């Protein structure tokens, strides 16, 4: 009888641990709620940047139109954290669109690609044109990629 008690106790403990793990692994709803929040995240890493913000439809990314002659601000969620960076022309390898999503291929081993979903066709086309023109302005270099 003692062995059956141990088996039942271990099974009950296993079920409780699996339930706790499943509850802990539920989908997180961490999203950008406003352009100001995206700009604050960008400024936390790059304090001097300023510009109008376009949020993605799902709230997981934002594009920031920095001034002429500057780069483009990008804020994107990676897991539970936010990454922010100022893109330069040499950072963009390719800009494409698929349905309502702008896909960016980056010249960065640690952050090779990102996608920004923008449902408004006018806004999406404006960003697509700006990003493609921006990527076309990169210097031609045969020395390789600027990032590791």
The vertex-134 CA angle with 123 and 102, nearest 5°, equals 40
Nearest by Cα to 114 from 125, 99, 130, 101: 101
Instruction: Give the per-residue pLDDT at 135.
Output: 85
In a domain, 21, yes or no: no
In a domain, 2, yes or no: no
Instruction: Give the containing element (helix H, strand E) for 127.
Output: helix 121-136
In a domain, 145, yes or no: no
What domain range includes position 132? 35-136
In a domain, 132, yes or no: yes
Q: Whole-angstrom Cα distance, residue 63 to residue 32?
A: 12
In a domain, 59, yes or no: yes
Instruction: Give the per-residue pLDDT at 64.
Output: 94
| Contact between 69 and 51 (Cβ < 8 Å) | no
Q: Whole-angstrom Cα distance, residue 104 to residue 116?
A: 8
Q: Is 134 helix (H, G, I), strand (E, B) or coil?
A: helix
Instruction: Give the per-residue pLDDT at 81.
Output: 87
In a domain, 27, yes or no: no
Q: How many domains does the chain have?
A: 1
Give the CATH number, domain containing residue 97: 2.30.29
pLDDT tens, residue by residue, 80-94: 789 999 999 999 999
Instruction: Give the per-residue pLDDT at 142.
Output: 41
In a domain, 82, yes or no: yes
In a domain, 146, yes or no: no
pLDDT tens, residue by residue, 44-93: 988 888 889 999 999 999 999 987 667 899 999 988 789 999 999 999 99
How far is the first Cα of the chain from the last one, in angstroms, to the nearest whole number? 62
- Tell me how crowded residue 60 is: count the other CB atoms within 10 A of its CB: 19
Q: Whole-angstrom Cα distance, residue 62 to residue 148?
A: 25
- Tell me how crowded residue 66 is: count the other CB atoms within 10 A of its CB: 19
């Amino acid at each position: 009888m003692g062995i059956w008690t141990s088996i039942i106790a271990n099974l009950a403990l296993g079920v409780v641990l699996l339930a706790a793990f499943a509850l802990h692994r539920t989908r997180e709803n961490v999203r950008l709620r406003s352009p100001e929040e995206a700009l604050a995240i960008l400024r936390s890493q790059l304090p001097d940047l300023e510009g109008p913000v376009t949020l993605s439809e799902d709230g997981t990314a934002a594009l920031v139109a920095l001034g002429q002659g500057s780069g483009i601000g990008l804020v994107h969620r990676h897991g539970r954290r936010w990454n922010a960076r100022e893109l330069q022309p040499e950072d963009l390898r390719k800009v494409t669109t698929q349905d309502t999503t702008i896909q960016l291929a980056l010249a960065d081993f640690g952050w090779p690609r990102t996608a920004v979903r923008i449902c408004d066709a006018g806004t999406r086309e404006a960003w697509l044109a700006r990003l493609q023109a921006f990527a076309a302005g990169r210097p031609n270099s045969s020395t390789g990629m600027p990032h590791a």
